[in-house]
Copies of this chain bind each other. A is one copy, B any other.
């Protein structure tokens, strides 16, 4: 048997007090938007287990931000993803869930996860990628109707949404979640799903226009026996500028 660190660790577990061993991973809350609903990408790692967030380990020679980008690319096939670190989770015994299922002592060590949230175009994700190797199933689940998640992944999702909501006060959103062209009501639906509340249509319209990140197109979307809503697309330059400078903060 090849003596990997894992073997060494299992044999010697309990003695290592000088250098605390911690199992670092990255967990990503991947958000997509489809048919007016905010969706989260969840995985089932093996038959019968609970659902989990896509995640992975950090390479020896890798920045954690780069690791998160790589993990998402491996899982979703998508590139140019909006990705933001929001918090690190390090409660003790947060891995108890899977500790019971795994006999290896190394699993009993501390787990620490750096949480990222990702905003991604629903249609650009390839759910079947990478399935053979680790994952059994990958699925989009409705934010408002999540299945039972393993470990503290539910808390990680809740926290991601809180941080994202707060982010709406500072940065524009939507470039990674909506198709290239969209209508104002569609954009409003996105905001409403993230904030989990209804917004006033007129006020929303004016607020968005004030941000000056939208370009109104000449085309309209045909939606039946009603006035056709105009199509918009993001003005990339202004959008980027808003991302860098941020919207006005109170102080």
Contact = CB atoms under 8 A, between A and B. Distances in A.
Given A64-B112, A168-B251, A169-B250, A20 B59 contact: yes
A114 B85 contact: no
Contacts of A217: none
Interface string A182-200: 0000000001000100000
Interface string A155-179: 0000000000110111000000000
A46 interface: no
Contacts of A87: 85
Contacts of A58: 20, 22, 90, 110, 112
A144 interface: no
Number of copies: 2
A92 interface: yes
18 contacts: A4-B18, A4-B19, A5-B15, A5-B16, A5-B18, A9-B19, A20-B24, A22-B58, A58-B110, A58-B112, A62-B92, A64-B90, A64-B112, A85-B88, A88-B88, A90-B114, A165-B251, A168-B250
Q: How large is the interface on A (under 10, 10 to 19, 20 to 34, 35 or more residues)?
A: 35 or more
A117 interface: no
A4 to B, nearest CB: 5
